[in-house]
Structure 1
Amino acid sequence: MPTQAPTDATVLLRLDEADELAAAWVCALAERRGIRALLIKGPALHLHGLREERVSADVDVLVEPARFDELCAAIAECGWTKRPGLLISELTTVHSTTFLRDGWPCDLDVHSFYPGFLAGPTLVFEALWRHRFPLSLAHRDCLALDKTAGALVLALHSLRGATIQPRHVQELEQLVSTPFTDDERADIAALARETGCVATLDSVLPRLGVFVEPSADELASPHLRDWRERVTAGSHGSYFWMLALRRSRWHERPRLLWRAFWPTRRDLLVGRPETADTVHGRTRARLARWGRGIRSAPAGVRAVWTHRRRLTP
């Protein structure tokens, strides 16, 4: 795939074309560098019968953690740039970096680990790597997750967004209605235990006919509380500011509170590109943001209160 910047003669790509080409390109780039990378979600989920066919806005790739920075640097060298991030995203999102490029309608979302797996990132990657299979995209073989691993990733993905997006609820319902053989259910149980997602998926695995107890390490993980709070609160801004405040040092909290109350011009325009870049437009955007924050705050408070001590299923 050419790496030079698009020219006026460049043919505009449809999103489905861009997804396939970008997936094949990033897999080829990783392979040339000797970096192990796995496509997660995407067309493999439909191929396995886990989800209806759909075109995604991004391509998700999981990279061996020790070489995550190396692959990100290689992607940047080829003309992709990091998507501008909000302050709150920089404070609370540590597992992935998103890249975009002029002329390409899709993003590249590069993961060092995937939220919901509570075992160590390297252990999780090695376990998922054993569940890879060749997937042909843009006339080349890429490596994607098999049905067992794909089911776990889809369950985690859908569960995180189910409180605010009906599509995730529908995808979760389709997943739990998918037929699995006894061997597949045993495989799911073993992989869930190995990667530490039994407790995070305690509301989903029994519906798949998978009955397994979480390990003591999983139940003791400090990330279990964060996961349960996130699922309960949904992807609402108020909860993420509460999380950022909890993780910050005392002397940093006044600045964070002020940024939550009065976001910078940059954060306003990145978060809401439709905002008119005028004093009046930015003021209206801040007032609207206060309204959204006030409406979502009770859900965040309930999530924090509910799970402040509850670390067992």
Structure 2
Amino acid sequence: MSAADFSGMRPPPAPLPLDVAVDLAHALIQRYCDELELRVLFLKGPAAHHQGLRGRRISTDIDAFLTEEDAHRLERSLLGTGWSTRPSGMEGVALKHAVTLVHEHWPVDIDIHHHIPGVAPLPGEVFNSLWARHDHVELAHWRVDVPDRVDHALILLLNILRSGPHGGSDPRLGVLADALDDDAMRTLDRRIAEFDCGPQVAPFVRRHGRGLLTLDTRVPDRTWLLYQHLDQPALLWLDGVVRAPWRRKPALLLNAVHPSRHVLSERNLTLIEAPRREVFAARTRRLVRTVVHLPTLLRTYQVIRRSSRARGE
């Protein structure tokens, strides 16, 4: 199988059940990366289930973590096999740790990560550390590479905690804690220190640390606080406008209040080719939502700004 052709990623002759498609896509991407001599680690989803870190749930995407250079190589290669890049509504404004690829004949998306939000070392250093002790599981009768069990647990809890400032009350955190015995928790404590993510995981430590994890009372950095609000585009645009050089502020402000078809299509791919009236309607709905929630957004942003100043950022 040549990398240029990659016949293994051609669509199946008939629709596959979603769980089968997810496992099969993991195996195919692993095989593709092996052909291209790319190191890849699969995160979350069925890989975490096989490691006993989460219950059996059907995923709708595949999360692949690579070095930044290898992530770009994988993306470019897949773009030549029928996959396309999902539009990003925050290009040039928010942090970007992954790119999402979609295919009209596959029921799953591929998220190609080059960074794990919440960890402090440079992304390449993080990947090398994870790779040095990585493990593997079997999906679709194929061996796929994954982080070792404790590293994967840390990645999962960071992913859960960045979904919002919920104080560690998410029930998935309890499942993770129950999956780790005392020795694994002590190892987790060392990994938290290694990746300098103590402030980010503090809610987990308070609720589920069992006295085995070190509580870090530092304030999380601005980047992490913004990641916790990725579901609020207006807040991220506000931060982008505030922090941008003066010469860029007008263009960013215009894009924020009058988003392009490309920006709007991030959450609704049908808008890419939709009639202008549908794009106008989507733009209007977004603007109305922003105006309605503006007081809350401003209060939230003030909290983030105060936290940043407390850290000297």
2:279 to 279, 282, 299: 282
Provide the C-alpha distance between the structure 2 equivalents of 1:226 and 1:199, rounded to a whole number of angstroms.
12
SS in 2 for 1:308: helix
Provide the C-alpha distance between the structure 1 equivalents of 2:88 and 2:284, rounded to a whole number of angstroms.
21
Provide the C-alpha distance between the structure 2 equivalents of 1:302 and 1:278, rounded to a whole number of angstroms.
36
Provide the C-alpha distance between the structure 2 equivalents of 1:198 and 1:55, rounded to a whole number of angstroms.
30
Change (3 A) 1:191 1:26: same
Could you list the per-position Cα deviations for residues 98-134 of structure 1 after superposition, in whole angstroms to 9, with x for gaps in the alignment?
A: 1122210101111111111122112211222234211
> Which residue of the partner structure matches residue 136 of structure 2?
134
Counterpart residue identity of residue 170, structure 2: V
Change (3 A) 1:123 1:300: farther
Q: Which residues of 2 match residues 215-234 of structure 1 at below 5 A?
A: 224-231=221-228, 233=229
Could you list the per-position Cα deviations for residues 193-240 of structure 1 after superposition, in whole angstroms to 9, with x for gaps in the alignment?
A: 11121121111133332422659xxx69xx822212442x46211111
1:2 to 1, 7, 29: 7
The more displaced of 278-287 and 142-151 is 278-287
- Alignment of 1:143 onto 2:136: no
Provide the C-alpha distance between the structure 2 equivalents of 1:274 and 1:170, rounded to a whole number of angstroms.
34
Provide the C-alpha distance between the structure 1 equivalents of 2:251 and 2:17, rounded to a whole number of angstroms.
43
Change (3 A) 1:58 1:305: same
> Which residue of the partner structure matches residue 109 of structure 1?
111
Provide the C-alpha distance between the structure 1 equivalents of 2:242 and 2:298, rounded to a whole number of angstroms.
13
2:255 to 243, 256, 259: 259
> Which residue of the partner structure matches residue 172 of structure 1?
173
Instruction: Give the count of matched residue pairs.
Output: 299
Change (3 A) 1:266 1:252: same
Provide the C-alpha distance between the structure 1 equivalents of 2:201 and 2:165, rounded to a whole number of angstroms.
15
Point out 4+ residue stretches in structure 1 off by more than 4 angstroms. 273-276
Unmatched 5+ residue regions in structure 2? Answer: 1-5
Could you list the per-position Cα deviations for residues 158-181 of structure 1 after superposition, in whole angstroms to 9, with x for gaps in the alignment?
A: 1122469xxx933234334x1422
TM-score, normalization by structure 2: 0.84
Change (3 A) 1:83 1:269: closer
Provide the C-alpha distance between the structure 1 equivalents of 2:286 and 2:171, rounded to a whole number of angstroms.
28
Deviation at 1:91, TM superposition (A): 3.2
SS in 1 for 2:99: strand
Provide the C-alpha distance between the structure 1 equivalents of 2:17 and 2:199, rounded to a whole number of angstroms.
39
Change (3 A) 1:279 1:229: closer
Provide the C-alpha distance between the structure 1 equivalents of 2:157 and 2:9, rounded to a whole number of angstroms.
38
Q: Which residues of 2 match residues 154-193 of structure 1 at below 5 A?
A: 154-162=156-164, 169-176=170-177, 178-193=178-193
1:34 to 17, 20, 37: 37
1:59 to 34, 37, 62: 62
Change (3 A) 1:44 1:270: closer
SS in 1 for 2:202: coil
SS in 2 for 1:204: helix
TM-score, normalization by structure 1: 0.84
Change (3 A) 1:23 1:29: same
Provide the C-alpha distance between the structure 1 equivalents of 2:280 and 2:46, rounded to a whole number of angstroms.
42
Deviation at 1:71, TM superposition (A): 2.2
Deviation at 1:63, TM superposition (A): 0.5
Deviation at 1:273, TM superposition (A): 4.5
- Alignment of 1:205 onto 2:205: yes
Could you list the per-position Cα deviations for residues 244-295 of structure 1 after superposition, in whole angstroms to 9, with x for gaps in the alignment?
A: 2244321111111111111223433443346694454333322221222134
Change (3 A) 1:124 1:208: farther
SS in 2 for 1:271: coil
> Which residue of the partner structure matches residue 301 of structure 2?
304
Q: Identity of counterpart residues, as a percentage?
A: 26
Provide the C-alpha distance between the structure 2 equivalents of 1:92 and 1:13, rounded to a whole number of angstroms.
35
The more displaced of 146-155 and 301-310 is 301-310
Q: Over aligned residue pairs, what C-alpha RMSD do you find?
A: 2.8
Counterpart residue identity of residue 241, structure 1: W
State whether residues 98 and 110 of structure 1, in contact with CA within 8 Å, keep that contact through their aligned partners in structure 2: yes
Change (3 A) 1:296 1:116: farther
State whether residues 160 and 173 of structure 2, in contact with CA within 8 Å, keep that contact through their aligned partners in structure 1: yes
The more displaced of 300-309 and 15-24 is 300-309
